[in-house]
Structure 1
C-alpha cells in the first residue's frame, strides 16, 4: 500500500521476472500507437469492488482503495519507472552525499497546490515532521518506517526535544534529509507523497485523521493532476482535472471511481458503463476468458507486486498498549495457541497452494516462498523452505509438538489435553480470497486442526480490528502490496512495525534486518542481498505468516482509453497522459 512504501490490502501492495515488460492485451488494436495523437477532453469511469475507508491523506491512509484516489491527487518528490529506478517528480534533481548520510533535493519551481498556494520545501519538512510527531502513531499513523532513520528522530518522536533536524529547508526550492548514519534507503525514505503545510499546520496531529481536510471531497488538497472534487460515500468518487498541474495539463476532464459488487463489474465493462478495472484487485481470474472475448476491451496481465497471506497472530499487543496507540514488542502478549513454530510449519505443509492457484486463480498466479518481492535482486527463491504440500509432514510435526487427537473426535487437543481451536478471519470484497477461506479450513481440518471460520467482516472493520483490537485472533487472510522502493521487509515484519499485525518478535530476524541496513557493509549490494537471503530463510523457518500465492494482476480497460504505462505495482501511472478517443 502504492511515495509508495507500504500499501495494505492492498498491498500492496513486486515481481521482476520478465514481468515489467510482460503486459499483454487481448485486443492489440486498442493500443495507443494505433490511436493517433492524444485528444483533450472526455471522462473515464473506473470500478472498484470495495469502498475506501475515507482517509484521503498520504501519511494516514491504510487501504489500497484510498490509494486509488491518492494516486491521482498527490505527488512525492520522486517517482519510479517500470524498472523501479527513481525518477524526478516534485523534485527535479537530487544530490546524495558520498557517505549517504544526507540527500538534498532541488524542487521544481512554480509547482502549486490545487488551491493555488505555492508548493515549497517547507511542505516537505512539515510532512516528515508530522510523521515524526509524538502523537502520530497514537493517531493511527503507520508510516514511521519513512522517518526512523532521520537524524534526531528518537528524541523528537519521544518528546525529549522539540527541535526537528531530520529534514531541513534551504529556501523555497531546496530541502535536505539528514540521517543518523549512512542510509542505504535514503531515496526510498524520501519518496513519500507530500501534504500541504498551510492546510494542516493549525490542526493538532492527533486530529488530522478525522479532519475534513483529510476526509471530505473538495477539502483534500494535493499537487497531483486531478482534484478530489465530489463523493457519495461508499458509492462514487469524482476526480476533476487540475489544469495547473506542473507536469502538464491532463488530457482527461474527469475520472470517476464507482464502487460496485465484483460480480457486476464485468457486465458494466462490456456495456461501456465502466472504462477500466485496475488496482488493487482487477477482475477475477475465473472471468479471464470472458473478458478476453470482449471486442472492446484489452487486458493487461503481469505478475502481481504483492501476494495473499494467511497471517498468524503469534502475539498480541496488550490492551493497554492498543488503547494508548503504541507498539512495544517487549510487552507483546503471547498467543499460546500459536507459540510453537512446529505448529505454524505444520499449517504451511497442510495447505495445497498450487490447488488454490489452479482452482481459484485458474493458473494466473504463482507460489512464492519469500515476502521480499521478486523484482529485487535480494529475492531468494531457492534457500528458504518451499513448504510443498505434504499433509503427512504436517501431521508428523503436530504429533511431535504434542498436538494429538486424544478423544477420537478427529481433531487434535493441545499438549495439555484441552480443546484446541484456531479461528480464521477474513474480509469481504475480494471474491478469490473469500472463496479460499473455506478451502483452507478444510485443508487444516484434514490434518486434525479444528478451525472456527468466522463470518467475513466489512473491510473497514476488519482492518481496524487488525490494527487495534485483534486480541483473540489466530489466523487471518490479507493481501499485501509491498514497497517498490527497497527490499527491506521491516516495514511489515519488523517487531515494532505497525503493519506487523501478527506481532512477530524474533531477535535473530531483527538483527539480520539491522545488519542488512547498516553501512558500510550494507552499501555493498551483494553483501546486503546475502543478509536478506538469510533473513528469508529465517522467516520461512519461523513462519510468522504463510504466503498463500502471488496472483497475476488482471487489469482491463476499454479500447478508447490510451496512454497507459503500467508499472510493476500499479496501472495508475502518469494519469495526466491518459486520453480517450472522442469518436
Structure 2
C-alpha cells in the first residue's frame, strides 16, 4: 500500500561604513560574495527612513498586459566570471547555478513547507514504511533534443554521483543511504541495487533508513540525460563538451551559445512541459557590482539575480524598475579551519591541535564584531545579525529564541583572558597560551571597494580584542580561487568569511556532516553526529520532535562554534517595468521562468 506525499576604527573605514558621514552621498559601496563587518560604532546614525525590512517589498509581480515575446536581458551580479560547470551533478558555485536554472530544473515541485507536490515534472509516492519511493516522470517531459526524460536518466544521475571516479561534491550521507550505493561506490557492484526501473517513466528507489527529509525535499532533484553522455567517462564529465560547451536540460529555455565565464544565449523551448514560454529567449551576462546600477537605469538589463544590498538605499527610487524582495535562503558565516578532508575515506578529520582549536578563541572572534551595526549602516537593514546556522528561510525549524553569539567585546576579552591568550611582549596583540606569537590568517572574497573595507573593519574589530588577523596573501580573492583554496584545505588559511545558500531540505548534514565535502571547517564530533542523525531519525517524522532536535543542534553549534553565523539577508531583485510574471515565493508553482513576459519591445529607461 502506498500513500501520496503531502505536505582602524580608522576614519576612512568609519566614514565608509556610515555611508554618508564623510563626503556627502557618493555611493562607494557594493557587495562581494561574503558579508563581514564590525568594530566601533560611528557617531553618525542611519535614519529610520533609510532602514528597510521584508514588509517593504512584494514577492511576486503577476503577469500584466500583453506579452510581446522578445529577448529578456538577465544579469548575474558578480565581480568574477562564472566557472562554467553547467550541470547540476557537478556545479559547486552559485554563479553556475544561475546559468543552469534557465535551461534545466528540478523534477519536483514543493509547497511552502518544502513538501513535494504533484505539480512538478515528476510525482512521488512513498511506501508505508517510508523507505521505498516511486518516482513517476510525466509523459510530456522531454530533453531539449526531443528525447523523453526517462526513469533511467534519474538513476543515471545517482550512478554518476556515486561512481568511484566522480569528481564533484555531491556524494554525501544522503546518497549513502540508498540501498546498494556504498557497494557501487566502492566498486563492489556494477549497479545500485536500491533502484528498480518499472518502465520508461517509473522507478522505485529504496533507502536503508527512513528519514523525514525524504518525505519533503530530501531526494535528489535532478535527472541527467544518459543518452547524451554516452561514451563519456565519469572522470571526464565535468570537463566535457556536454557540461562546458553544450549543456542540455528539459527546462523552459535551450542553450544556444556560451561565451565562457561571461554570457549565455538561450532560445525558448517550444516543447516545454509546462507550456511554451512567453519569451522568445534570454541573454544572460555577468555584470560587475560597480556597473549594475548604470546597466539597470539604461535598460541594458531587465532583471538581475540579486541586487547589491549596499547600493539599494541610494537607488530605491529608480523609476524604471519594480522591486521584489524575500528572506534569502542562506546566511554568511566565519568558518574556522579545524582539520582536513580525507579524500580516500571521504570524510573530515578534525585536528585537535589546529591553530583555531580553542573554542574560546572562536567564540571571542564571534563576539568581537557588531553585525547589527553593519546590517543597519552598510546594508540599510537588508542584512541583519545571524543567530544560528539554520536561517529564517527555513521558518519551521529556525529557532527564533536562540540569541546567538551576539556582539560583546567585554565577553570576548574575558574569554581570551581565561583561555590564556595574553599580550606577553606588550605589542598590543595576544600570544598563544604557550607564549608564542599568534597571527591568524583570514581568507575572504573580493567584491568592490566595500568588500575590502568591511573586511578591514572586521580585522580592526578583532585587533581591538588583541587578535592579530591578516588577510590571506594580504588581499581578497575572487570567488573561484577562494573556494579552491578553502576546499583544498590550504594550510595558510586559519579562518575564512563565506556564505552558504541552503536548499529546500532542512537537513544540515550537507554542510556540517562528517562525510560532507562542503564541511569546509573540517569539524565533527560524536555529539554533533548524533544531533544530525536525530533530525533524520524515525522519531523526527513527528514535526515537533524534529523541531526540538534541530533547536538542540542550533544550540550545540553555537556551543562548539566550528563556524560563527554572521548575517542573514533580505534579497532584492529589480524588474524593468516591461517585465512581469515572476515570483520568488516558495510553493507558488503557477509562476516560473516560462511565465516571465515582456510587455513592450524596448526596456523602460530611468528618467
Q: Which residue of 2 aligns with 1:495?
A: 514
1:472 and 2:492 are equivalent in the alignment: yes
Per the alignment, in what secondary structure is the counterpart of residue 509 of structure 1?
A: helix
Match of 2:197 among 144, 169, 194: 169
Residue 434 of structure 1 and its aligned partner are, at CA, apart by: 4.0
| From 335, 348, 357, the counterpart of 1:311 | 335
Partner of 1:67: 97
Picking from 135, 147, 150, the partner of 2:175 is 147
1:313-392 counterparts in 2 under 5 A?
Answer: 313-317=337-341, 321=342, 327-329=346-348, 331-334=349-352, 336-374=354-392, 375-383=394-402, 386-392=404-410
The correspondence for 2:584, drawn from 543, 549, 566, is 566
Counterparts of 1:491 and 1:573, CA distance in 2: 29
Counterparts in 2 of 1:82-481, with a 5 A limit? 82-88=112-118, 91-136=121-166, 139-186=167-214, 187-216=216-245, 219-278=246-305, 282-317=306-341, 321=342, 327-329=346-348, 331-334=349-352, 336-374=354-392, 375-383=394-402, 386-429=404-447, 433-454=451-472, 455-481=475-501
Cα deviations by residue, 1:471-526 (Å, 9 ceiling, x for unpaired) = 22111111111022x2211100112211100101121010111122121x121111
The whole-number CA distance in structure 1 between the counterparts of 2:460 and 2:478 is 23
1:310–1:476: 8 Å Cα contact kept in structure 2? yes
SS of corresponding position for 1:72: coil
Following the alignment from structure 1 to structure 2, what is the Cα–Cα distance between the partners of residues 507 and 250?
50
Deviation at 1:461, TM superposition (A): 1.1
**Count of aligned positions:** 549
What is the rounded CA distance, in whole Å, between the counterparts of 1:572 and 1:229 in structure 2? Answer: 26
Question: Matched residues in 2 for 1:409 and 1:10: separation?
Answer: 31
Report the more deviating stretch, 448-457 or 161-170.
Answer: 161-170
| Residue number in structure 1 paired with 2:531 | 512
Please tell me whether the aligned partners of residues 20 and 82 of structure 1 are also in contact (alpha carbons under 8 angstroms): no
The 1:21–1:114 alpha-carbon spacing in structure 2 relative to 1, beyond 3 Å, is farther
State how far apart, in whole Å, the 2-side matches of 1:44 and 1:102 are. 43
Q: Deviations over 1:60-101 (max 9, x none)?
A: 100111111111111222022455342346544321111110
Larger CA deviation: 220-229 vs 194-203: 194-203
The answer (yes or no) to whether the contact 1:78–1:191 under 8 Å persists in 2 is: no
Q: 5+ unaligned residues in a row in structure 2: which ranges?
A: 1-32, 36-51, 602-607
TM-score by length of 2: 0.85
- What is the CA deviation profile of residues 273-320 of structure 1, one whole-angstrom value per residue up to 9, with x for unaligned ones? 111112xxx222332233321111111122211111111112233xxx
- CA deviations over 1:136-180 (Å, ceiling 9, x no partner): 2xx133343541221122222222222312232111111112100
Number of the residue aligned with 2:86 = 56
Partners of 2:111 and 2:56 lie apart in 1 by 15
TM-score (norm 1): 0.88
Whole-Å separation in 1 of the counterparts to 2:595 and 2:280 = 12
Distance in 1 of aligned mates of 2:325 and 2:492? 38
| CA distance, structure 1, for counterparts of residue 544 and residue 276 of structure 2 | 43
Which of 153-162 and 570-579 deviates more?
A: 570-579
CA deviation after TM superposition for structure 1 residue 569, in Å: 11
- The answer to whether the 8 A contact 1:305-1:568 is kept is no
Give, in angstroms, the shift of residue 20 of structure 1. 13
- 8 Å Cα contact 2:323/2:572 also seen in 1: yes
Displacement of 1:44: 2.7
Assess if the C-alpha contact under 8 Å between 1:47 and 1:274 holds in 2: no
- Contact 2:154 / 2:222 at 8 angstroms: preserved in 1? no
Post-superposition offset of 1:572: 13
CA drift of 1:568 comes to 5.2
Contact 2:323 2:573 in 1 (8 A): yes
SS of the residue 2:143 aligns to? coil
Q: 1:284 to 1:312 in 2, by over 3 A?
A: same
Contact 1:102–1:179 (Cα < 8 Å) also in 2? yes
Stretch moving more, 126-135 or 439-448:
126-135
Q: Cα distance, 1:234 vs. partner? A: 2.6
Show structure 1 runs of 5+ residues with no match: 1-8, 12-18
Taking only aligned residues, the RMSD between alpha carbons, in angstroms, comes to 2.6
Greater CA drift, 425-434 or 233-242: 425-434
User: How far did residue 124 of structure 1 move?
Assistant: 0.6
In 1: Cα distance, 2:589 partner to 2:560 partner = 34
Cα distance in structure 1, aligned partners of 2:587 and 2:108: 16
State the match for 1:14 in structure 2: none
The residue number in structure 2 matching 1:15 is none
- Assess if the C-alpha contact under 8 Å between 1:316 and 1:335 holds in 2: no
Q: CA deviation at 1:55?
A: 0.2
Show CA shifts across 1:377-397 (max 9, x none): 2221224x5222111111111
Contact persistence 2:77–2:287 (CA under 8 A): yes
How far 1:433 moved relative to its partner?
A: 4.4
In the TM superposition, residue 200 of structure 1 has moved relative to its aligned partner by: 1.8
| Counterparts of 1:419 and 1:154, CA distance in 2 | 46
